[in-house]
Structure 1
Amino acid sequence: MALVDMNTLVGIAQRSGVMLPAYNTTNMEMTLAIMDAFEANGLPGVVQIAPTNVKLTGYELIADCVRAASESYTVPVALHLDHGKTLEDVRQAVLAGFTSVMIDGAALPFEENIAFSRQAVEFCHVHGVSVEAELGAIAGKEDDHVSEANSRTNPDEVAEFVERTGCDLLAVSIGNVHGLEERPNIDLAHLEKIAKVCPCPLVLHGGSGIDPQIISQMAKHKMVKINIASDLRRAFISAIHDAQEENPNEANLAGVLLRARAAVSEVARKTQLAINGLEDKAAA
């Protein structure tokens, strides 16, 4: 199936009654592992990459990989730019063929965040690309960026922010954190307040480390996209480490990378089912 934009994918997910895991990739092996998981589950999902990881591949290579691979799969997938910090990040992703972007102005004052996000929306919508914006800073470590900010999204600002930016999805701060070094403290009551006033679907960053049962409860509060990175990266690195431990003279790189791909795919597959409260048929 061809790549779809995020609005289309969200519509598919909502009609199917599922949330979308958005898994961060870094290279071809992780990208294919993620798409393997979606196909095995028969459920839609998101492949995403942040600018800090794009430096390894470039925007075009990841876009080409996902586009080519999508033709061999049946489930719909969106290719998303995660944490675009600049308008140049957004421009490069859109021109490379990404079908969705996130513009991250959460660290800016309210009015500046609106103006910055609006610029991204205007550019992306002309190209038929969906835009996720963020309101409320999230603490923790995201790739090379460490933030100590933890400003929960103010429900009183949500409706105005979405209306004035024109964003298609809104990432919110409800006690979630980036990475595995900080402990999340999810406030579902706060999410409910946001959902009541937000005119668009919501996104949760920092899904790694949060109990899937808690995540599954978010579906009734407009949550449609769950970002997960650290769990998959740990699986990839651990698989390579284990191969090296088992045979310090290992030189079969293809074999090692296939092993890493399988490990990532299994984590992604199980996580997608868990956050949606679905039975793991493969384990039954």
Structure 2
Amino acid sequence: MGVSYKDIGLVNTKEMFAKAMEGKYAIPAYNFNNLEQLQAIVTACVESKSPVILQVSKGAREYANATMLRYMAMGAVQYAKELGCEIPIALHLDHGDSFETAKSCIDSGFSSVMIDGSHLPFEENITLTKKVVDYAHSLDVTVEGELGVLAGIEDDVVAEKSTYTNPDQVVEFVEKTGCDSLAISIGTSHGAFKFKAGQPVPPLRFDILKECEVRLPGFPIVLHGASSVVQEYVEMINQYGGKLEGALGVPEEQLRQAAASAVCKINIDSDGRLALTAKIREFLAEHPEEFDPRKYLKPARTELVKMYKAKNVNVLGSAGKA
């Protein structure tokens, strides 16, 4: 017998997305792998009064353990209440690669799942996505599908080149699968090396986004690979022994523009990893005598809170929308 997300105190994404579409902002979808990242995400979203989607990749689930993650999500809901604001929190599988993975997450209390069949032929993507949708909807869990392929590397998701979403396919895909939201490819990419250093950053394909909006009026669109790769953190990592020369991300002004359109969910993972790593490297370099993880994780967590709040306020427009 599975565990319902409702028993954990989570919400699915239906109402979140409806409000975001109406208010012209995007829900932050932040990936987490450990306690400090989760604490920072919830703290930042409570303090900025933002709804939030807690994202777990297949790799993060294997790292943290499925049972542990369920109780961490339950703890996140209670932690938000203790901080004084009951913000809407969804727990979402990011880049699920099989029906079995999606089902396992649904049965363990996830309120939303993504099934990524974008690497498959179109008809096979529809078949896989519909299978997940049929099971998820029987338990009131929402499903995100994907059309188009993002370049870059994120955990087990690897692609050398982007394949832009074909707007001619979006209506058929949504109608045949019954998915609740659709991730599209318009020029974002996974990882910290999204573009080539020394070359102009190509603008996102807002023409494709606009055409998808026309074909699917009022339907929630999702952007993956949307970290801006904050240069302050890249420089700090390199200053203290790292090797991230040439790391570049999506300009924040382009993400702001996307958030004011049909894009109602924006995924951010790499920026969290960079902020955490940068502050840990800085602390250990300046305090070589320390070996207590609490000493170096605390300033890293504080920096994460600052970064996530800035995203909610300045990029996604979700602050004050809880």
- Please indicate, yes or no, whether the TM-score normalized by the shorter chain is above 0.5: yes
Are 1:51 and 1:83, in contact at CA under 8 Å, matched by a contact in 2?
yes
Which residue pairs with 1:204 in the alignment? 223
- SS of 1:174's equivalent in the other structure is coil
Q: How does 1:1-284 map to 2 (within 5 A)?
A: 2-73=9-80, 74-183=86-195, 185=202, 186-198=204-216, 200-208=219-227, 209-276=249-316
AA in 2 matched with 1:203: V
Q: CA deviation at 1:149?
A: 3.4
Are 1:9 and 1:77, in contact at CA under 8 Å, matched by a contact in 2?
no
Q: Tell me the distance in 1 between the aligned counterparts of 2:260 and 2:281.
A: 40
Are 2:48 and 2:319, in contact at CA under 8 Å, matched by a contact in 1?
no
Are 2:194 and 2:250, in contact at CA under 8 Å, matched by a contact in 1?
no
Q: Tell me the distance in 2 between the aligned counterparts of 1:65 and 1:139.
A: 31
Q: CA deviation at 1:279?
A: 9.2
Cα deviation, 1:93-112, whole Å, max 9, x if unaligned, reads 11111110000000000000
AA in 1 matched with 2:12: D
Change (3 A) 1:278 1:32: closer
Cα deviation, 1:80-127, whole Å, max 9, x if unaligned, reads 100001112111211111110000000000000000100110111111
Where relative contact order (Cα < 8 A, 6+ residues apart) is larger, the structure is 2
AA in 2 matched with 1:273: V
Q: Tell me the distance in 2 between the aligned counterparts of 1:278 and 1:229.
A: 17
Are 2:259 and 2:317, in contact at CA under 8 Å, matched by a contact in 1?
no
Q: CA RMSD in A?
A: 1.9
Q: CA deviation at 1:17?
A: 4.0
Q: Tell me the distance in 1 between the aligned counterparts of 2:140 and 2:318.
A: 33
Q: Tell me the distance in 2 between the aligned counterparts of 1:277 and 1:202.
A: 16
Are 1:9 and 1:78, in contact at CA under 8 Å, matched by a contact in 2?
no
Fraction of identical pairs, as percent: 36
Is the deviation greater in 13-22 or in 43-52?
13-22
Q: Tell me the distance in 1 between the aligned counterparts of 2:128 and 2:319.
A: 42
Q: Tell me the distance in 2 between the aligned counterparts of 1:65 and 1:279.
A: 23
Q: CA deviation at 1:278?
A: 8.1
Count, aligned residues? 280
Are 1:38 and 1:45, in contact at CA under 8 Å, matched by a contact in 2?
yes
**Tell me, which stretches of 5 or more residues in structure 1 are unaligned?**
none
Q: Tell me the distance in 1 between the aligned counterparts of 2:22 and 2:44.
A: 20
**Tell me, which stretches of 5 or more residues in structure 2 are unaligned?**
1-7, 81-85, 196-200, 228-248
Q: Tell me the distance in 1 between the aligned counterparts of 2:90 and 2:214.
A: 27
Q: CA deviation at 1:51?
A: 0.4
Are 1:13 and 1:44, in contact at CA under 8 Å, matched by a contact in 2?
no
Q: CA deviation at 1:18?
A: 2.4
Which residue pairs with 2:230 in the alignment? none
Are 1:174 and 1:191, in contact at CA under 8 Å, matched by a contact in 2?
yes
Q: CA deviation at 1:16?
A: 4.5
- SS of 1:72's equivalent in the other structure is helix
Which residue pairs with 2:238 in the alignment? none
Q: Tell me the distance in 2 between the aligned counterparts of 1:278 and 1:33.
A: 16
Cα deviation, 1:161-218, whole Å, max 9, x if unaligned, reads 0000000000000111111212263111111011111252000001112222211212
- SS of 1:88's equivalent in the other structure is helix
Q: CA deviation at 1:243?
A: 1.6
Are 1:28 and 1:62, in contact at CA under 8 Å, matched by a contact in 2?
no
Q: CA deviation at 1:249?
A: 2.0
